[in-house]
Amino acid sequence: MPREPGLLRRNGIYYLNIRIPKRLLPLYGGREFIRKTLQTSDYKMASLRAKRARLKLQQKEEARKQREEALAALPPRERRLTEARRNEFVRRYFIELERASLANELLSGTPETQDEVAERQADIEAELDFYLRRYRSDFPTAVLDLEEFVDRVCDEKKLYVELTPEEKREFGALLAQAHVESLQRQRQRLEGRPETVHFAAFSGLTVASPVVAAVAPPAPAVAFALPPNARPNMTVAELVEEYLHEAKDGNKATLRTYQTIARIATELLGHLRLSELTIPAAKDFLRLVIQLPRNITQRYPGKTIKEVHSIMEADSEGQRLAKKTLQNYLTNISAIVNFGVRRQYLSLNPFGDPIVRAIVEKLPDENLDPVVYTIDELNQIFRAPLYTGCVDDEAGFNKPGPNRPRRGRFWMPLLALFHGFRCNEVAQLHTEDVKCEDGIWYFFIREARENQEKSTKRLKTKQSRRRVPIHPEIKKIGFMKYVEERRKDQSNPLLFTDARISKNGYYSDAISKRFRTFLNATLPKTSATFHSFRHNFRDALREAGIENQEVIEALGGWEDSRSRSAQRGYGRGLSLNLLYENISKIEYKNFAIDHLRV
């Protein structure tokens, strides 16, 4: 894979060096290069963020070109923003803000409880702080913030004028005052107090004021025109449906990541027209979403999002969506709305507003350390009735009994612990994927079938395809005998016949759910999952002193960009002898499984 140009690694963190196009030098104080920290030590994430940074720069360049072209088409007189014209624009901008806020207040209704009042007050205070701090002339970053703010407003409202830096700062301060004035009035309305004027520039202005009619019609360059293809009556549900229809021929895995947020957005926002998709509406949507539980489809099948939300309101201790998941949802819903902006169905994407995004970003970070099983927990898992004697490996898996069934429910956790397999990798194994070469038995993790028939197997990444020698401990437990017995059955190619593929195309869906049922009975308080075995395996590699990065990647199917080089694309890879030598070093001290050996 070619390296991302401009990436530098310093003290374990990636930075991006970007050359600024000559035309944009004034926007960056004349600097020819900027260095931006990407705040990650992961190459894939750094590469993604570098692409986004370049895209943002490209968008600035495109916006600049559009402004230049629009200015060139205007007579010199219309390129100037006179004081009278500027003040008229700001007053109209304020009225737009007031109309939007009043429409949202009517839509939301009067707060019925003190908590609702306090919540809305907190929102207003947060927005006030945002505008007062970021767009105040004495705030350290105000100059750059003001200039970017003005560019954004001018682009949105199709106002193409030539401004000196000083004129731009003055204009930005007035636009910021419009936001502050509107927010102050919102607070007064919420608290039931008479509305008062805070900035003289907005004296006498209300949504219903006759002053609005007295303002002269704006010139075309100042008009708050809707996009030419605007569809204000199109609903959010229709936009989501159109987006998914357009995306159905693209990457299937990517499309699946949008299904959940598409369902949530359709249920909670679907009735809104695009003209009603405002910043307050986006904020209310996110406040509902952050209260939703993890694994909503699996945990609450058949229930609507609103029904689940009501359940979670009564369950203050229930596990909510992880912050990272919420960030992904925000990115996905923003992408859907951006699709509408690109099609010119609407002018703005409220989910791109910093105040909206702050609802998710201000949430506390979770403990990012991966959850692993302790040795005591591993001993509890593999001394449960399923491994010492149970009624059966279905409903009776947790009831002590005389039987010791050895099917997928028995083998999959063991294979994941000693080989680092992902749940879907181990669940979809075929008998033909257990192979022998030069006396070394191994698993061939792959998507293809040997007979070239259509395969239902899937891998997470290209690096997931690998050969993993079978750990000696697994052989001692009798795995090779199990494989031999399974090969006698020609009716089903799966290694584990109790694995079932879901409607989403993964074997892991049912297996991970079934393993959660096992954990609830065995370790009811653990937050670990089936995937935690993979983290245990990674720790065991370190404990065994295995430091060769290529060996680690080859065994686990991980990719570390630091060891990627051109020669990695040549040859068959590391020898099975070397891989077997290393995986045989994996052990878990004080982990007792002698009772499983045959």
* pLDDT for residue 93: 87
Given a cut of 50, is residue 570 above it in pLDDT? no
CATH T-level fold of 375-596:
hpI Integrase; Chain A (1.10.443)
pLDDT beyond 50 at 248: yes
Q: What's the confidence (pLDDT) of residue 214? A: 32
Flag the least confident range among 242-246, 390-394, 593-597. 242-246
pLDDT of residue 564: 43
pLDDT at 125: 76
Distance from CA of residue 342 to its chain's centroid?
21
Q: Is the pLDDT of residue 454 over 60?
A: yes
| CA-closest candidate to residue 84, choices 211, 243, 218 | 218
Is the pLDDT reported for residue 557 higher than 70?
A: yes
pLDDT at 577 over 90: yes
Q: Please tell me which residue, 399 or 103, carries the higher pLDDT value.
A: 399
Average pLDDT over residues 335-342: 88
Q: Which amino acid, 400?
A: P
Contact status, residue 36 vs residue 16, Cβ threshold 8 Å: yes
Ramachandran area for residue 313 (φ above 0: left; ψ -120 to 50: alpha; else beta) = alpha
- What is the b/e burial string over 515-552, where b = at least 16 CB atoms within 10 angstroms of the residue's CB? beebbeebbeebebebbbbbbbbbebbeeeebeeeebb
Q: What is the mean pLDDT of the chain?
A: 80
Highest mean pLDDT: which of 179-188, 344-353, 455-464, 528-537?
528-537
Residue 527 has pLDDT above 70, yes or no: yes
Quick check: 268 pLDDT over 50?
yes
Query: In terms of C-beta density within 10 A (0-12 exposed, 13-18 middle, 19 or more buried), how is residue 271 classed?
Result: exposed
* Mean per-residue pLDDT, 71-83: 80
Averaged over 432-452, what is the pLDDT? 94
Reply yes or no on whether the pLDDT at 34 is more than 50: yes
Mean pLDDT of 325-344: 88
Q: Looking at 233-242, 315-324, 417-426, 470-479, which range is the least confident one? A: 315-324
In the sheet that 434-437 helps form, which strands lie side by side, from edge to edge?
434-437, 440-445, 466-469
Same fold: 226-368 with 375-596: no
Q: Identify any residues that bridge with 436 across adjacent strands, giving them in sequence order.
A: 441
Average pLDDT over residues 222-229: 48
Once rounded to an integer, what is the mean pLDDT over residues 113-139?
A: 65
Point out the least confidently predicted range of 105-109, 341-345, 455-459. Answer: 105-109
What average pLDDT does this structure show over 177-195? 83
pLDDT of residue 317: 52
Is the pLDDT at 472 greater than 90? The verdict is: yes
Strand-pairing partners, residue 386, are: none
Whether 509 shows a pLDDT value over 60: the answer reads yes
> Could you give the percent of the chain with pLDDT greater than 70?
79
Q: Is the pLDDT of residue 567 over 60?
A: no
Instruction: State the average pLDDT over residues 312-334.
Output: 77
Residue of 349, 232, 230 lying closest to 282 (CA atoms):
349
Q: At residue 223, does pLDDT exceed 50? A: no
What Å distances lie between residue 536 and 67, 172, 242, 331, CA to CA?
56, 54, 43, 31
pLDDT band (50, 70, 90) for residue 52: confident
- What are the structural domain ranges in the chain? 1-69, 76-222, 226-368, 375-596
- Banded pLDDT at 478 (limits 50, 70, 90): very high
Q: What is the pLDDT of residues 363-393, one digit of tens each?
A: 876 645 568 899 999 999 999 999 999 999 9
Say whether pLDDT at 148 is over 60. yes
Q: How far apart are CA 16 and CA 36, in angstroms?
A: 5
| Greatest extent of the chain over all pairs of C-alpha atoms, in Å | 94
pLDDT at position 111 is: 67
How much is the pTM?
A: 0.50
Rounded mean pLDDT, 457-468: 90
Residue 150 pLDDT? 83
Length of the chain (residues): 598
CATH 1.20.120.1630 at 226-368, yes or no:
no
Q: Judge residue 93's burial from the number of C-beta atoms within 10 Å of its C-beta, 0-12 exposed, 13-18 middle, 19 or more buried.
A: buried
Element spanning 46, H or E: helix 43-72
